[in-house]
Structure 1
Amino acid sequence: MSVGSVLERIRNLRGSGASKQAAPRVDLTGQELHEAVLLLQDYEASGLGWFWASDREGRITYISDCVAKLLGQERSAIIGQPLQSMFILERDEDDPVERTLPLLLSTRKTFSDLQVRAAIDGKEMWWSISGRPQADEAGEFTGYRGNGNDVTATRQSQRDASRLAQYDSLTGLANRHRMGKRLSATLTAYQKSKRSCAVMMMDLDRFKAVNDTLGHPAGDELLKQVAGRLQRIVTEPGCEIGRLGGDEFQIMIPDLDDRGRLGEIARTIITMISQPYQIEGSRCVIGASVGIAIAPYDGINSEELIRSADLALYASKGGGRGQFRFYSSELHSEAERRRQIEEELRDALAHDQMHVVYQPIIDTKSNKVVSLEALARWTHPELGEISPGVFIPIAEEANLIGALGDWVLKRACAEAAGWPGGVRVAVNVSASQFGNAGFAAVVAQALAHSGLQPERLELELTESVFLGDENATSDMFAQLKLLGVRLALDDFGTGYSSLSYLQHAPFDKIKIDKSFIRGVTRPESRNSAIIASIVSLADALKMDTTAEGIEAQDELHAMRALGVKQIQGFIYACAVPPDEVSAAMLSGTWVIEPEGPSKYRPERRTVLRKVGLIHEDHRYEAMMRNLSRTGCLVEGLVDVPVGTPFVVDFGDGQLAVAVVRRSAGATQGLEFEQQLVDDGAGGLCTRHRVSPYILAQVAAPQPVAGAGQYPPQPGMPLSIPRFGQIETSKVRTKVA
């Protein structure tokens, strides 16, 4: 457009008194008009802003030359095009304002500071445009005149600020604020549509050790790598991963209530997070614990669901870490019990509530006891026997594991010194004990006070002892070997760098983890090949091998065939008190003959709990004696024919459709229609649960003490119970 035409437009603007949107008329001389045009051109050339105009149909009638150049077109090619063609009219998904340029133009009203994205290929540029409607002398709309300016930098700054408010600056994951907002909005919407949503809470195990030994910059780098792994693992539709702070992460997975699938995801997370990391030239290994809760079963709103997931996470960490747990109503009482145990554990040693038992380790060829592993036990005056699977993790969290471990070491040495012959005693050593600079002195003191020969003491270590400072670790190994004690690498094969440890650490024995024993006799299993390789490696390094957790004859035969030198497991003996050890070793030689089932049955689990059996409109109470993925054994009903269908009510909305396959007296063997899945705590659970939304809509039977009846559907008469029921307390207690 020529200067003359621009001058004409200014004259028209000056004389257009009919426009309701025009500025007050200013009379300009020819020279002033010429100066105005020059000012217009200088303003456009400066890049501070530009001008545009359109006709009544929204076609461009004027555009600044600088804009045409940015769009990569001649100005003449743009004239006559729709105004919207200059922009990418896509609304930002985070922008709650739904106004669009076409909508604003159709209203024929003034607008200002509307941010639009320029239609430029390969470059993101944002403009802020304003426009004023124009009218002729008759008051008829003739089009728009307006201006614009570049706001790309401002918008990027706003976007960065918005992202900082919603995302973690270190990992790039969603932060606590965004996760909370997203979860609340999702659960509110899903409550109306009766949909499910799973939440996983994850904590890193041994992360503090990385921070303490390698420094906080290394810890930050580790968190970044953890975040990257999580993003590669969890790819379910609509999921979001967040870092809540420290080493705590949260994962939200909409529309997933399949506990089988959730268990698979949790196991994958734990496995992948536990693989080694390279941080600033150092190799480190951490772990992960996961708690899972699912809406609407475990909570309707975000507060309830997060509380349930946190409780499940607490239970998974208490179960020994490196585990996942689903929320259940039992966790509340379990958490309260754990708090009580933690409070009283500090006084247990002082009040002589702790004692040591010993599990024999047997020579594979002769069946002679060659060593005994010392295991701590706690007899609480009110709670009775407390499992080490409960109090050991609590001791680790409460920083009591060092004191407990030192006590077991001293007690075991004192008791073993009185055993005849050269039978050794094996004592577990925690990472915190091993990391204590004075640990070698503690061992020396225990040997001196007891009089036990050093070669009869075997210290069992796990790979966690290698997480500390490498030089300090090497020094501790050297000090212990100078004392003359033996060292064993426990749980071999469950970590990721065992071979490198064997290369440098002076171990005398490798203990093969029981996870490799399970299924070793199955034709499709590769475990036998793995065990054979471990045995060959140990032989080459002049180390002994012990297979842990042997329970059945077929496993024992397999270990003998593979050349494993020592066996530990229930097929020979469980842990026994020290007086039984002394009595058995009076002759100086203790021989134990193996005794156990011919084949290991991993699926069958002995239980003792009440369940409901639903048939037609009746709910009966029964005692479940054992449980597997495919079925269960129940007692309490009589005259139940084979082929009878039942729904087994495990509680917490867990219902399993089953059919009677065996029936004898008051005992029935049931086969499930759908297999149960791992609950993450060594137990089993149903893959799905009955939604509270469904239970609220139907007449559901309520559990009662003894036989009960479901409210019938309208118009249906009550039926007569088909089966007799006896009190479960009168049923024999021996498992079939």
Structure 2
Amino acid sequence: MLTAHYDSLLVLISLLVAILASYTALDMAGRINSATARGSMLWLAGGAVAMGIGIWSMHFIGMLSFNLPIPLGYDISITVLSLVIAIVASGFALWRISQAELPLLQLIGSAIFMGIAIAAMHYTGMAAMRMTPGIEYDPWLFALSILIAISASGAALWIAFRLRTNTPNVVRWRAMAAVVMGAAIIGMHYTGMAAANFPIGSVCSAAVEGVGPGWLAIVVIVTTLAVLAIALLTSVLDARLDSQTGKLVRSLALANQELTKQALQDNLTKLPNRTLLEDRLDQMVHKAVREQSRFALMFIDLDGFKAINDSLGHHIGDLLLIDVAKRIRDNIRAQDTAARLGGDEFVMLIEVNEPEDAASVADKLCTTLNQPFDIAQYNLGISASIGIAVYPEDGKTRHDLLVHADAAMYHTKSTGRNGYHFFEASMNINAHNQLQVIQDLRTALERKEFRLHYQPKFSTTDGVVVGAEALLRWQHPIRGIVAPADFISLAEKTGLIVPIGEWVLDEACRQMRKWYDEGYQQWKIAVNLSSVQFSNDNLVEMVKETLARNNLPATSLMLEVTESTAMHNVEASLTILEQLVSLGVEISIDDFGTGYSSLLYLKRLPATELKIDRGFIRDLAHGSDDASIVSAIVALGRSLNLRIVAEGVETEKQQEYLTTLGCDTLQGYFMGHPMASEQFMAAINALKAVQLNLHVPGTLGNSGLQSQH
């Protein structure tokens, strides 16, 4: 037999190629597993080519390292056939490990098929030498090489299947597995080579007609390494892209989760908001229908919150709401829901067996919220008005339950606050009446149902009329005259006060222009601004346009702003008031004494008049607390160079006492009732005639004329 020997460098290169091919195969398996259907097919095809070339080149380099004392060469067509076998075997292996499962029987069958295919590639490659006489194989080593091929294939398939997912430390495990797989493939190859025997006198027919081993070895090595490197680099880059995409997907998922949370959660209290409440309420209705059970909806409104919010500012109010939400949350079970609708309104959904269960929860909640709150440096006290609606007795839909609980809550407020009431049918009448009033308000402007009445204001020095306050009346086609107290709060709640307020200002300025032309240039028309109007961004421009439209001097208009409105946000109020004053309009601080003014801020307000609230005038008498308060307000006004107006004067004694205290202007039913413009001027003319004849100050009474002696 011819004595063979091996090129050690090429043997080492073949081992490195086998390990690199094994790692590439493992990495490709991971890419196939994580790719989409179309992408996995592309990775399967590319992987089969790269892995097949890798295995085949390892075999071919091993063949090139084999030397005999005769010239050697390789038949090109047979060599290419061995490459095709390697690619097919690789494609089958990658397809098998890309399946969802790899049972033991399928693993064994696949290992046998792949082992035989690799052995076929090896021995086909050997046949490419076209030896004459033919190669003689040792049967035991030949069988051993096939057994090694099958065992290596089985191990490779099992390892690749286990490492196809990107788990922690997968790169390290794949590298270790690649070394084992590479060594197994090399073992099969050189066992097969050891099985080959070449008789003395053998001739390699391909040495003349085929490809020589010299330069081919370099081409095969470089090409193979390039193919494997490109395949591996592509896989690594794609894996990084997938990783970045995964991070982006996770970031987007977290962002969507946060957006969903914000969309369903109240930002301040972190309780569910109205949207989530409605969903939970629908779920509880469905559950109650399915299980024939009950639950209660509790509508909670805080008593005294507005005064705290207006006097101490939104920051303290927000901190108070956060603490209130915490106390409410601490009083519910895991299966119940507490939500904030907005402002100081909260809702609770609780599962109950009997209505009395809801009563005990409401009673406990009232007690809890009655406890003082320590906010910043303040010790604050509030209470809660609660309305309760029980499913199914008080409503079977989300809308009915909310409306009825709201009606019960308003009933609690109207009967003393700080408590709870269950819904009753009579409460619904009031709720429907409110709804009807709101609907009628929406069309009242279009139907020209609003009227202005004018109440005169008298100077205390000579008793002459110095102007009038415009007071809104609603001439409802069915209800008749509707007092402001019955609709102003609803107009403010719905925002309808803004267009109504614009109409009031325009109508008052139109009437004042008429009086101005009749010679009453010294008069001022007073118009009230609600808190909603005052916070409207378009207020200053609207006033300016109204004055211009009616060609009325700004000095003829006085805007009345309540003390609590002016103090709600002092800095913003100062800006708005200064803009109004810059137009020439005068400012009156209305209902003075009922709010929580700071003298530091009060002296900064560009007002010209303080209007004492009628509540202090009603029980006015010498030596009373109200008298002391009024006296103090007059003194304060004098120190700030403000005119003092007292409203609500209903008796002669009140008139005399307020005049003695030093009030500049008086207004009230004793002096003159609110009247339509025509009646107002008739009464004014009659008063002037009496004053001219009797030379005494006068008042306008119910009949339009009432003289003082």
TM-score (norm 1): 0.43
**Which protein is richer in strand relative to its size?**
1
TM-score (norm 2): 0.44
Bigger Rg, which one: 2
